[in-house]
């Protein structure tokens, strides 16, 4: 033991002399050097001008469909409903409430704007609820605002789905949650689709509270029935004089049960709950004052301010992001998308540090910066085979070790098309095993995950590449994106064969329906994604680290 101790002391002395001698030669790092190689040749457009123009025109059709849907969403309940909400009830519109609450409305990222359009029970603009992420006093918060101008802020099945998703985002990203309450409760004709899962939002409030994620409710209007639990379960509750009310049963039910006539204000108004019941913590003379109180409450949360983008040093891409629509081919040719051309137009300085460049070439992996933030990128250039799955697993685990967020640029293919009947069972089993490992790595990743579907989200590879099923922090789609269990034409043929509907008219109708239901816009209507973004907006999506 004594010999070992002496040996270690000698080694330490030698190391000290060596490093002391070496330190005389000072190394001065080049602070102006930019990390990672520029995708100069890889980013160049390789298609002819005519094809580029055709692609742009085809992409513009998707954008036009999106704009039409957004106009319906922003119109809300219509002119008469808005006039009644503003003039008769003297309330602010949800967009005006959000403007008064956040630091800068231009930096506010609204989620699922087109949710609720084309429902079987009619249009429900914005899903009757506005949700989004914005900074309040320098801190990122998620906001849920009931649209009282549409059916009194009634909760529809799609409304509930949107609320639950917003709470999930709050939990995943540890964001303070602000509820702007103005709702008459569940839309009773559809109560069977609402009631059973409706209590989940209260469960989520309890879970968020237990996780020490701050929650605040600003009662701007009605807060009836089960909705009364929203402010009473929040950490802080503000209520507006005259317009804000909280009660389990409103005046009509009180009259029916007891024969007593009572006003909403006397039953559950601001004075009652601030002075008698103690259900609310802050009294506001009007909505403007209430929202200012909300901002002050955020300042009292003892939550660190988020880093300002303007303090991060980054370069814009060398290549023009506006060229992307011309690069995206017709859906039948999505397999031809060159991911290096896409990446070169999305990342800072078009710089990309590729990982395992010579292995598993159908999956591009590597590191880049987006608005100064280091991210790990996974992008499809074909099917996920054995090599691609092994490569993807290695890369995901590496990013988890280094605490680097993951960005999935998804354009998957139908894996069943690549199965050769001559392949032996052992080979297919090995492929499935490696894909399962990557799926497990992505599912259990300890870092934030952001998925953008830029082309196809087809087959089981959709799950592996950060699909909704593996709970990414955010999942967005470009207007041209498609998500389906297999290629729409092949799916239609399989369904037609099973149901014996193989005539041309039946096949055409079936294919049209499947293509419609596979589209990104349909997914946004039904909350299957967090919204549709344009390629030009992709860099603006924030990585919000827990």
Q: Using H for helix, E for strand and C for coil, what is the string for 353-383?
A: EECCCCCCCCEEEEEEEECCEEEEEEEECCC
Q: Which stretches within 355-460 are classed as H helix? A: 386-402, 425-443
Q: Which residue has the tokens 């320098």?
A: 138
Q: Determine the distance from the C-alpha atom of residue 286 to the mean position of all C-alpha atoms in its chain, rounded to a whole number.
A: 32
**Sheet strands (E) in 147-214:** 177-183
In a domain, 105, yes or no: yes
Report whether 127 contacts 527 (CB < 8 A). Answer: yes
Confidence of residue 313 (pLDDT cuts 50, 70, 90): confident
pLDDT of the residue at 18: 42
Helix (H) or strand (E) holding 512: helix 504-518
Report whether 55 contacts 327 (CB < 8 A). Answer: yes
pLDDT of the residue at 417: 57
Residues 289 and 319 in one domain: no
Residues 241 and 156 in one domain: yes
Q: Which residue has the tokens 């060596």?
A: 18
Residues 154 and 245 in one domain: yes
Query: If phi over 0 gives left and psi between -120 and 50 gives alpha, with beta otherwise, what is residue 33?
Result: beta
* pLDDT tens per residue, range 213-233: 999 999 999 998 888 999 999
Inform me whether the pLDDT recorded for 53 exceeds 90. Answer: yes
Question: Which is it for strands 456-458 and 449-453: parallel, antiparallel or unpaired?
Answer: unpaired
In a domain, 32, yes or no: no
* pLDDT tens per residue, range 339-376: 999 999 999 999 999 999 999 999 999 999 999 999 99
Helix (H) or strand (E) holding 115: none
Residues 398 and 458 in one domain: yes
User: 130-144, 163-177, 252-266, 288-302: which range is least confident on average?
Assistant: 252-266
Inform me whether the pLDDT recorded for 5 exceeds 60. Answer: no
pLDDT of the residue at 421: 53
Inform me whether the pLDDT recorded for 158 exceeds 80. Answer: yes
pLDDT of the residue at 59: 96
CATH of the domain at 439: 3.90.226.10
Q: Which residue has the tokens 């992505």?
A: 442
CB count in 10 Å sphere of residue 355? 18
Calculate what percentage of the chain has a pLDDT beyond 70.
90
Inform me whether the pLDDT recorded for 306 exceeds 50. Answer: yes
Paired tokens of 338: 């060159």
Residues 52, 57: Cα–Cα separation, whole Å: 9
pLDDT of the residue at 103: 97
pLDDT of the residue at 496: 76
Mean pLDDT computed over 28-57: 86
Confidence of residue 3 (pLDDT cuts 50, 70, 90): very low
**Most confident among 15-24, 255-264, 411-420 (mean pLDDT):** 255-264
pLDDT of the residue at 278: 94
- Give 321 or 546, the one with higher predicted confidence: 321
Q: Which residue has the tokens 């330490």?
A: 12
Structurally, the chain folds into a number of domains equal to 3
What is the dihedral angle through the alpha carbons of 269, 273, 274, 276, rounded to the nearest 10 degrees? 120
The whole domain housing 477 covers 309-417+424-481+519-540
Q: Which residues contact 283 (CB under 8 A, 6 or more apart)?
A: 238, 239, 241, 270, 271, 274
Mean pLDDT computed over 283-301: 97
Question: Which is it for strands 456-458 and 215-224: parallel, antiparallel or unpaired?
Answer: unpaired
User: 31-45, 218-232, 237-251, 500-514: which range is least confident on average?
Assistant: 500-514
Residues 81 and 123 in one domain: yes
* pLDDT tens per residue, range 65-85: 999 999 999 999 888 999 999
Report whether 514 contacts 491 (CB < 8 A). Answer: yes
Residues 465 and 500 in one domain: no
Number of residues that this document lists for the chain = 546
Residue 352 phi/psi, 5-degree rounding, is -145, 130
Residues 368, 343: Cα–Cα separation, whole Å: 9
Mean pLDDT computed over 123-138: 96
In a domain, 260, yes or no: yes
Residues 357 and 501 in one domain: no
Q: Determine the distance from the C-alpha atom of residue 108 to the mean position of all C-alpha atoms in its chain, rounded to a whole number.
A: 13
Q: Which stretches within 176-331 are classed as H helix? A: 191-198, 200-210, 229-233, 251-258, 264-268, 270-272, 287-299, 324-327
Question: Which is it for strands 177-183 and 236-240: parallel, antiparallel or unpaired?
Answer: unpaired
CB count in 10 Å sphere of residue 277? 11
Residue 378 phi/psi, 5-degree rounding, is -125, 125
Q: Which residues contact 187 (CB under 8 A, 6 or more apart)?
A: 151, 154, 155, 156, 194
Confidence of residue 110 (pLDDT cuts 50, 70, 90): very high
Residues 203 and 313 in one domain: no
Question: Which is it for strands 406-410 and 177-183: parallel, antiparallel or unpaired?
Answer: unpaired
CB count in 10 Å sphere of residue 26? 6
In a domain, 70, yes or no: no
Mean pLDDT computed over 93-103: 97
Report whether 437 contacts 490 (CB < 8 A). Answer: no
Question: Which is it for strands 177-183 and 282-284: parallel, antiparallel or unpaired?
Answer: unpaired
In a domain, 5, yes or no: no
User: 182-186, 428-432, 433-437, 509-513: which range is least confident on average?
Assistant: 428-432
pLDDT of the residue at 423: 59
Residues 289 and 346 in one domain: no
| Mean pLDDT, the chain, integer | 89
Confidence of residue 499 (pLDDT cuts 50, 70, 90): low
Report whether 239 contacts 276 (CB < 8 A). Answer: no
Query: What is the separation, in whole angstroms, between the first and last Cα of the chain?
Result: 48
Confidence of residue 20 (pLDDT cuts 50, 70, 90): very low
Residues 316, 372: Cα–Cα separation, whole Å: 10
pLDDT of the residue at 11: 46
SS3 407: strand
Residues 394 and 266 in one domain: no
- Give 163 or 27, the one with higher predicted confidence: 163
Inform me whether the pLDDT recorded for 27 exceeds 60. Answer: no
In a domain, 48, yes or no: no
Residues 168 and 221 in one domain: yes
Calculate what percentage of the chain has a pLDDT beyond 90.
71
In a domain, 184, yes or no: yes
Residues 204, 230: Cα–Cα separation, whole Å: 11
In a domain, 29, yes or no: no
Q: Determine the distance from the C-alpha atom of residue 114 to the mean position of all C-alpha atoms in its chain, rounded to a whole number.
A: 13
Q: Which residue has the tokens 């598993």?
A: 360
Helix (H) or strand (E) holding 536: none
Inform me whether the pLDDT recorded for 14 exceeds 50. Answer: no
CB count in 10 Å sphere of residue 255? 12
Inform me whether the pLDDT recorded for 490 exceeds 90. Answer: no
Report whether 198 contacts 186 (CB < 8 A). Answer: yes
Residues 389 and 245 in one domain: no
């Amino acid at each position: 033991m004594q010999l070992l101790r002496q040996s270690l002391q000698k080694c330490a002395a030698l190391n000290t002399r060596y490093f002391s001698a070496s330190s005389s030669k000072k190394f001065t790092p080049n602070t102006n050097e930019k990390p990672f190689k520029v995708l100069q040749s890889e980013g160049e457009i390789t298609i002819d001008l005519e094809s580029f123009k055709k692609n742009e025109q085809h992409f513009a059709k998707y954008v036009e469909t999106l704009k039409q849907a957004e106009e319906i969403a922003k119109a809300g309940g219509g002119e008469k409903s808005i006039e009644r909400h503003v003039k008769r009830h003297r309330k602010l519109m949800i967009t005006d409430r959000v403007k008064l609450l956040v630091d800068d409305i231009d930096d506010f990222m609204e989620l699922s704007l087109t949710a609720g359009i084309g429902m079987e029970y009619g249009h429900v603009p914005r899903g009757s609820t506005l949700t989004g992420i914005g900074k309040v006093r320098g801190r990122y918060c998620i906001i849920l605002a009931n649209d009282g101008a549409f059916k009194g802020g009634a909760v529809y099945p799609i409304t509930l789905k949107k609320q639950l998703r917003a709470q999930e985002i709050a939990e995943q990203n540890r964001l303070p949650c602000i509820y702007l309450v103005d709702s008459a409760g569940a839309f009773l004709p559809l109560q069977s689709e609402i009631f059973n899962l409706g209590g989940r939002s209260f469960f989520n409030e309890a879970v968020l509270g237990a996780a020490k994620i701050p929650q605040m409710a600003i009662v701007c209007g009605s807060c009836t029935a089960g909705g009364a639990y929203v402010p009473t379960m929040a950490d802080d509750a503000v209520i507006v004089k005259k317009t804000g009310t909280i009660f389990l049963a409103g005046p009509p039910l009180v009259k029916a049960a007891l024969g007593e006539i009572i006003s909403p204000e006397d039953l559950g108004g601001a004075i009652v709950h601030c002075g008698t019941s103690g259900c609310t913590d802050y009294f506001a003379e009007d909505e403007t004052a209430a929202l200012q109180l909300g901002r002050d409450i955020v300042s009292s949360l003892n939550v660190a301010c988020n880093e300002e983008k303007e303090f991060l040093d980054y370069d814009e891409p060398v290549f023009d992001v506006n060229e992307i629509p011309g690069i995206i081919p017709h859906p039948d040719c999505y397999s031809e998308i060159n991911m290096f051309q896409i990446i070169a137009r999305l990342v800072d300085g078009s710089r990309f540090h590729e990982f395992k460049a010579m292995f598993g070439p159908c999956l591009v992996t590597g590191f880049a910066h987006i608005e100064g933030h280091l991210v790990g990128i996974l992008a499809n250039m074909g099917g996920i085979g054995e090599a691609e799955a092994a490569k993807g697993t290695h890369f995901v685990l590496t990013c988890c070790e280094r605490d680097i967020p993951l960005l999935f640029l998804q354009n998957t293919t139908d894996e069943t098309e690549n199965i050769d009947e001559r392949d032996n069972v052992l080979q297919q089993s090995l492929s499935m095993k490696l894909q399962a490992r990557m799926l497990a790595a992505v599912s259990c990743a300890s870092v934030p995950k952001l998925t953008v579907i830029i082309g196809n989200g087809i087959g089981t590879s959709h799950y592996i590449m950060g699909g909704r099923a593996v709970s990414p922090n955010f999942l967005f789609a470009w207007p041209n994106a498609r998500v389906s269990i297999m290629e729409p034409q092949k799916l239609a043929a399989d369904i037609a064969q099973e149901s014996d509907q193989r005539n041309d008219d039946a096949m055409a109708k079936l294919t049209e329906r499947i293509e419609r239901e596979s589209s990104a816009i349909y997914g946004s209507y039904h909350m299957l994604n967090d919204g549709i973004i344009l390629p030009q907006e992709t860099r603006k999506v924030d990585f919000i680290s827990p």
